[in-house]
């Protein structure tokens, strides 16, 4: 099925994002959580691509195992970091050979400790160039790209960031998946600005269930997402209580999801972080799942 088709005719397309675990225990937990998440019939499952291509094989192993076990369509994330164009071609060829359906096409971040993205000498500079490559040579793969409701951290301003997003759309992206955000107003403003800029493909909000106070601070700092003071206050009421934090995280994300659905979003992309409880609770709270 074409990627954009999950989001047509008032269907709410649902996808879950995994990441490659570093240990055997993590692998087992991932597969057991995917098993539980499958009960909620996601349209497809994605797996991230580690910094510097460090998880190259692992990413493909995970998505192909998920597809083989559950028969669900899958997407591999792919970044331009540390790869020549020929290496990117090699990855895309292998992805097709292994039955991968879609690619989340990204530039990627600079290696830890560095602030500037330096492309591989024979590689690509921006995600729109990766979209061009996929469209030109691997057009059977559906393409999702990243969008930033609160503007990408490196962009000089929101208008330029939007122009750059439009380049990815014009290059042939099927769907935009957003960076996580905690205030839906940021998504609605972004959606409106995208529409004004002539972007017509689905803009799928990324949903992130907060698990702890330190985690939300770290992640918000990493990707530039604002955390509403009310959410911080609620989490801070019991600074050491992990159960309380994840309950607050689930409640906040559930309210976000209910509001997004009532405001006509085309779908939801859950950053499940290889867990299942929080996402399952959110889906149940929002009436999206078998109870
Ligand atoms: C849904 C989602 C999934 C992600 N998955 C991963 C993952 O699996 N692995 C990983 O390492 N990272 C992942 N990331 C993080 C992502 O790699 C970073 O946010 C990265 O800094 C930017 O990637 P991008 O594809 O948005 O880059 P781009 O779209 O290339 O944009 C990067 C910056 O360059 C600017 N820009 C873009 N095109 C041009 C142009 N043609 N000329 C001038 N300026 C331009 C943009 O405004 C922006 O500031 C993900 C992010 C999201 C939202």
Look up residue 286 and give its DSSP letter.
Answer: T
Nearest CA to ligand 1 atom 37: 164
Spatial distance between the Cα atoms of 278 and 233, rounded to a whole number of angstroms = 20
pTM value is 0.97
Is the distance from the beta carbon of residue 79 to the nearest atom of ligand 1 less than 6 Å?
Answer: yes
CA distances from 189 to 4, 20, 194, 197, 228 (A): 22, 33, 9, 12, 16
Is the distance from the beta carbon of residue 127 to the nearest atom of ligand 1 less than 6 Å?
Answer: yes
Is 17 an annotated catalytic residue?
yes
Nearest CA to ligand 1 atom 45: 164
Is the distance from the beta carbon of residue 205 to the nearest atom of ligand 1 less than 6 Å?
Answer: no
* Helix, strand, or coil (residue 215): helix
Q: For residues 20-43, b (16+ Cβ closer than 10 Å) or e, as one string?
A: bbeeeeebeebbebbeebbebebb
Question: What is the rounded average pLDDT of the residues 136-145?
Answer: 98
How many CB atoms neighbour CB 14 within 10 A? 23
In tens, the pLDDT along 232-266 reads: 999 999 989 999 999 999 999 999 999 999 999 99
Question: What is the rounded average pLDDT of the residues 110-127?
Answer: 90
CA distances from 62 to 22, 38, 120 (A): 12, 15, 26
At residue 112, the pLDDT reads 78
Q: Hey, which of 18, 55, 116, 126 would you mutate to test ligand 1's pocket, going by the most ligand atoms within 8 Å of its Cβ?
A: 126
Q: What percent of the chain has pLDDT over 70?
A: 98
CA 236 to ligand 1 center in whole angstroms: 32
Which of 73-87, 134-148, 218-232 is predicted with the least confidence, judged by mean pLDDT? 218-232
Instruction: Give the ligand 1 atom nearest the CA of 177.
Output: 1
CATH fold of the domain at 3-211+246-285: TIM Barrel (3.20.20)
Average pLDDT taken over every residue of the chain = 95
In tens, the pLDDT along 5-34 reads: 999 988 899 999 999 999 999 999 999 999
- Of 67, 52, 82, the closest CA to residue 18 belongs to 67
Q: Is pLDDT above 60 for 291?
A: no
Nearest CA to ligand 1 atom 42: 164
Q: Is pLDDT above 80 for 95?
A: yes
Q: What is the chain's alpha carbon radius of gyration, rounded to the nearest angstrom?
A: 18
In tens, the pLDDT along 47-68 reads: 999 876 667 889 999 999 999 9
Nearest CA to ligand 1 atom 2: 146
CA 276 to ligand 1 center in whole angstroms: 26
Domain ranges, ordered by start, for the chain: 3-211+246-285
Spatial distance between the Cα atoms of 31 and 111, rounded to a whole number of angstroms = 28
Is the distance from the beta carbon of residue 208 to the nearest atom of ligand 1 less than 6 Å?
Answer: no
Is the distance from the beta carbon of residue 180 to the nearest atom of ligand 1 less than 6 Å?
Answer: no
Which of 96-100, 196-200, 218-222, 233-237 is predicted with the least confidence, judged by mean pLDDT? 218-222
Whats the size of the chain, residue-wise? 291
CA 145 to ligand 1 center in whole angstroms: 8
At residue 221, the pLDDT reads 87
At residue 8, the pLDDT reads 93
Instruction: Give the ligand 1 atom nearest the CA of 110.
Output: 21
User: Of 4 and 55, which is predicted with more confidence?
Assistant: 4
Look up residue 117 and give its DSSP letter.
Answer: -
Is the distance from the beta carbon of residue 66 to the nearest atom of ligand 1 less than 6 Å?
Answer: no
Which of 103-117, 194-208, 237-251, 260-274 is predicted with the least confidence, judged by mean pLDDT? 103-117
Is the distance from the beta carbon of residue 56 to the nearest atom of ligand 1 less than 6 Å?
Answer: no
In tens, the pLDDT along 147-174 reads: 999 999 999 999 999 999 999 999 999 9
């Amino acid at each position: 099925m074409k990627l954009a088709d999950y989001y047509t005719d008032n269907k709410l397309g649902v996808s879950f994002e995994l990441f490659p675990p570093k240990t055997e225990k993590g692998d087992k937990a991932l597969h057991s959580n995917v098993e539980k998440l499958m009960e909620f019939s996601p349209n497809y499952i994605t797996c991230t691509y580690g910094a510097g291509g460090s998880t190259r094989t692992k990413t493909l192993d995970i998505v192909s195992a998920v597809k083989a076990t559950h028969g669900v369509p899958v997407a591999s994330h792919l970044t331009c970091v540390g790869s020549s164009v020929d290496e990117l071609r090699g990855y895309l060829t292998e992805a097709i050979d292994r039955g991968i359906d879609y690619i989340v096409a990204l530039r990627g971040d600079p290696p830890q400790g560095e602030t500037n993205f330096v492309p591989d000498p024979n590689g690509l500079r921006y995600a729109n160039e990766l979209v061009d490559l996929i469209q030109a040579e691997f057009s059977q793969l559906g393409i999702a790209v990243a969008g930033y409701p609160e503007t990408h951290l490196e962009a000089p301003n929101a208008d330029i960031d939007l122009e750059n997003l439009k380049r990815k759309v014009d290059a042939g992206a099927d769907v935009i998946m957003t960076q996580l955000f905690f205030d839906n107003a940021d998504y609605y403003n972004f959606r409106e600005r995208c529409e004004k800029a002539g972007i017509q493909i689905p803009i799928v909000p990324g949903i992130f269930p907060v698990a702890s106070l330190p985690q939300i601070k770290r992640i918000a700092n990493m990707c530039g997402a604002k955390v509403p003071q009310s959410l911080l206050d609620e989490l801070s009421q019991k600074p050491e209580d992990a159960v309380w934090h994840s309950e607050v995280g689930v409640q906040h994300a559930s309210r976000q999801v209910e509001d997004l659905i009532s405001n006509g979003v085309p779908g939801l992309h859950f950053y499940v972080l290889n867990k299942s409880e929080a996402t399952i609770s959110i889906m149940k709270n929002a009436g999206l799942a078998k109870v």
